[in-house]
Amino acid sequence: MKRKILIISILLLGMSVFAQNMNMSLMLRDYQRPEGSFTDRLAILEAVRDEGIIGIGDFYHEALQFFLLRASDIRSIEDRRAAEASARILAQGLGEERYREAAQDLWQLVLLFDVVRDVNQGLEMQDALIALGQIGAIEFLPHIIQRLDDLNTQPLTDIETRRRIQRAVVGCVFALEHLADPLGFRPVFFVSIGAYDPSIKAMASVALPNIAEDPSDIIIGIIQNPSNNPDIKNEAFHEMLRTNAPPTSIARVAAAALETGWYFSTTNVAQQRILGEMRKAAIDAIRIYGAASNSIYPDLRRSYFNNYNSTSPDMQEIGKTLDTLSALGTDESVRLLLEIIRGLQDRRQVGPWRVDRERAIYEYALIALGSSGTTMSDAIVLLNNLQHASEFTWTEQSWATNALRGLGL
């Protein structure tokens, strides 16, 4: 009995599929009638959509191909409105069906409704781009990236232009997020810091981790690009700090940010301040994630000496540099600490501290050395000498003694 029921069920299912295929063939034939208008064809698409039928990607694809073939026939406002509505149904249907074979025709739909032409409102382009992402059309990745690059440079001159461009931007971001190729990270990053509405920027920020888990090479490129202003460089560095990339990758980006913070030249006071903030954030990151290479030490040296010799030093940057040298605890970092302490000793031998900050830096540097865990003989010899050096007060001598204790001596 059960076997008979199973056979009947299979037959009914087969009849149902056959009936659906026959029905869709009739619908497609009706859709492709040469004498049909855009309004007629829209009515057919709406009926198919409202039925909620699945597994009809081929119907949507053939309908889209016919739509593109007849797009040049648009004459009236009524035609255009029906064509716009039809384009959205076709793109959404193909996206939901994950109909991979339609990629080329979906890109043609993007071009047809590109917001570069004022007559296009952006929703059709958005839906076509979203569908390209849904079907995984990776071969169109370079085209989507280029289109988003172009959109990111478009001036948002008025409310209507802003609305149209942002709709297209949403489609590009969605597509690049779903294609999940690291090459898409850069243009989406520029959306996240662009002049768009907060909701658009937030969408881009959420998409970034899904596009690239470790975007270190891309972000280093953004930071080192001389055409990017300090605001962009700083935003890129902080975006890296928000990723789940390996510590070694974050350390590499931090090294690039510290180097760029010193070598990027600008006379703009506000930009100089931003570069200083980026340097300090990079120094903190190096303290936490380590040294990517020995190339960081010349830049850490600059962070100390350029500020120490300045008439308006950034004491916070000096402090962060000393903390980082201590935390690294390498031979290179200890040698730099010794150079700093010897320089302060030389200064003290000339006469009394000129300003309170010199004495404060000397104390901080000794604390840093004492916390470094070094076993270098040069460090131990220097500290032994400093705790008895006559140019220092008893309190200042005790700082050297405390540093030795910190090293377990």
The vertex-244 CA angle with 241 and 248, nearest 5°, equals 75
* Cα 227 from Cα 86, distance rounded (Å): 43
Quote the pLDDT of residue 118.
80
Is the CB of residue 125 less than 8 Å from the CB of residue 115? yes
pLDDT for 203 beyond 50? yes
Where residue 101 falls (left for φ over 0; alpha for ψ -120 to 50; beta otherwise) is alpha
Which pLDDT tens digit goes with each residue over 328-373?
999 999 999 999 999 999 999 998 888 889 999 999 999 999 999 9
Residue with more model confidence, 156 or 179: 179
Could you give the CA distance from residue 274 to residue 318 in angstroms, rounded to a whole number? Answer: 17
**Cα–Cα distance between 322 and 301 in angstroms, integer?**
10
| 356 exposure class (CB count in 10 Å sphere: 0-12, 13-18, 19+) | exposed
Residue 390 three-state SS: coil
Position 6 scores a pLDDT of 34
Which pLDDT band holds residue 9 (cuts at 50, 70, 90)?
very low
φ/ψ of 234, rounded to 5, equals -65, -40
* Token output for 323: 């903390």
Residue type (1 letter), 128? A
pLDDT computed for residue 21 by the predictor? 53
Please give the helix or strand (H or E) that residue 327 lies within, else none.
helix 315-328
Distances (CA, A) of 121 to 70, 165, 266: 20, 8, 41
pLDDT of residue 18: 39
175 neighbors 139 (Cβ within 8 angstroms): no
Dig out the tokens for 83 from the structure.
Answer: 């064509």
* Tens of pLDDT, residues 152-170: 999 888 899 999 999 999 9
The 10 Å Cβ neighbour count of residue 53 is: 15
Q: Is the pLDDT at 2 greater than 50, yes or no?
A: no
pLDDT band at 20 (very low <50, low <70, confident <90, very high): low
- Look over the chain and give the mean of its residue pLDDT values, rounded to a whole number: 92
- How many CA atoms does the CB half-sphere of 317 hold within 13 Å? 27
Q: Is the predicted pLDDT of residue 116 greater than 70, yes or no?
A: yes
Alpha-carbon distance of 175 to 134, in angstroms, equals 7
310 burial level (CB within 10 Å; 0-12, 13-18, 19+): exposed
Closest CA to 45 of 10, 56, 307, 155: 56
d(CA 184, CA 179): 8
Compute the distance between CA of residue 343 and CA of residue 361 in angstroms, rounded to an integer.
11
Instruction: Tell me which residue of 39, 78, 41 sits closest to 62, measured CA to CA.
Output: 41
